[in-house]
Amino acid sequence: MPPRKIIIDTDPGQDDALAILLALASPDDLDLLGIVAVAGNATLPQTQRNIRVICEVANRRDVKCFAGSDKPMSRPLLTAEHVHGATGLDGIDLPEPTMPLQPQHGVDFIIDMLRSHEADTVTLCPLGPLTNIATAMARAPDIIPCIQEIVLMGGAYFEVGNITPAAEFNIYVDPEAADIVFRSGVKLTVVPLDVTHKVLTTKTRIDAFRAFRTHLGDVVVAWLDFFERFDVQKYGSDGGPLHDPCVIAWLLEPHLFSGRFINVEIETQSPLTLGMTVADWWGVTDRTRNAMFLKDIHADGFYALLTDRLSRL
Ligand code: BDR
Ligand code: CA
């Protein structure tokens, strides 16, 4: 099978960084057409810088990097520097990237790539707010049937929320964008907090990256050490949830995951539950099923995959 063509849409973020590294480490499986930055964990100037920092850590200056939307479709931007640090990618001082940012707007890149490929051959992998993807759909609805699948990190059902009691960060930042994507009719696979809160960065798992004794291994350890402190303090857990790499892991080894094909809708009105992913897990409505909503993951299998692949970089 030829490698699956993907576009990563992201707001790095230390966990986004590991997702990008996992994709870069898997060229036999994944053909990374480009990486598009979106505002989310940090502002766009930071996230577009960070995607290039990450590519340079992996010595992949050839990857096409784009800047997309700098704010949600119809709300002010909310960022998460309290989790990810002032740069969005705190943990270690790295040189300013010198590889180019592509001149094309990231949303135009997504539209052009989908139009220039055969239908059903490009998968979108959003790891941040869904602003770029929804903007592309709104501006060029003809691309919607061309998308092979969207595999996204966002939402929660059993875990409910992390940025508010009812909402997960990526969906909460741009609920109108999420609503467009969840109503689009595109094949959707959702990796919610219910999965990502099961893949904790325990000491043993971080030590496996330390054992690489490479620059990349040391950078990964520094990012994870910084990233986990927030959730360890918040949840009293053994490590932080490594959200975004689960999206890439699903593409590589879907047998590690389980879930249900259900109806999922986005709350866009209520001030109390804004951004909630209302997931009909128990099938109590007759609403149309629109998403494969994952719930469980084989955590050790996930870390074995991540460690093995990153050791190849
Ligand atoms: C999501 O929000 C961000 O902080 C992480 O990068 C992840 O994409 C988890 O809620
Ligand atoms: Ca992210």
pLDDT tens digits, residue range 239-274?
899 999 999 999 999 999 999 999 999 999 999 999
**Residue 125: strand pairing partners:** 8
**pLDDT, tens digit, for every residue of 155-168?**
999 999 999 999 99
Number of independent structural domains in the chain = 1
The reported pLDDT for the residue numbered 252 is: 98
Place of tokens 């990563």: 8
CA of 68 to the centre of ligand 2 (A): 14
The pTM score is: 0.97
User: Does the beta carbon of 155 lie inside 6 Å of ligand 1?
Assistant: no
Q: Check if 243 has its Cβ closer than 6 Å to any atom of ligand 1.
A: yes
Give pLDDT tens digits for 98-129. 999 999 999 999 999 999 999 999 999 999 99
User: How far away, in angstroms, is 180 Cα from ligand 1 center?
Assistant: 20
pLDDT of 36? 98
pLDDT at 234: 81
Report the CATH number at residue 61: 3.90.245.10
Neighbours of 3 (CB within 10 A): 12
Whether 28 has a pLDDT exceeding 90, the answer reads: yes
Model confidence at 235: pLDDT above 90: no
Residue 92, domain extent: 4-310
Task: Please report which confidence band the pLDDT of residue 228 belongs to, taking 50, 70 and 90 as the band edges.
Answer: confident
